[in-house]
Amino acid sequence: MKKIPEFKSEDKERQFWSKADSTEYNDWKKAKKVIFTDLKPSVKTISLRLPEYMLEEIKLLANKRDIPYQSLMKIFLSERIKKELSV
């Protein structure tokens, strides 16, 4: 097995693994299933311009569900992305 190199950033590691064959670095027959319960995805802050009425309606819907409006927006986006990708 080849030795996995040290990476200076996640971007460098991502670039490496996008081209490398992982079977040259890992014996997947010895792999064990693991669940990462506290793993949080990387997030990026964005600026989004919405009409005021739309934001107010989202806040109203979020209030009915008793969740923050940003969380509801993520739920809506996630559902739509899944729908679009399944077509």
The radius of gyration computed from the CA coordinates of the chain, to the nearest angstrom, equals 20
Q: Is residue 67 part of a domain?
A: yes
Q: Is residue 73 part of a domain?
A: yes
Q: Is residue 3 part of a domain?
A: no
CA torsion sign for 50, 87, 19, 8 is: positive
* Two structure tokens written together for 79: 């559902």
pLDDT in tens, the chain (87 residues): 999 999 999 999 999 999 999 999 999 999 998 888 888 888 899 999 999 999 999 999 999 999 999 999 999 999 999 999 997
CA torsion sign for 15, 48, 79, 86 is: negative
User: Residue 18 is part of which domain span?
Assistant: 10-86
Q: Is residue 2 part of a domain?
A: no
What is the greatest pairwise CA distance in the chain?
Answer: 59
72, 62 in Cβ contact below 8 A?
yes
Q: Is residue 55 part of a domain?
A: yes
Total structural domains within the chain: 1
Q: Is residue 48 part of a domain?
A: yes
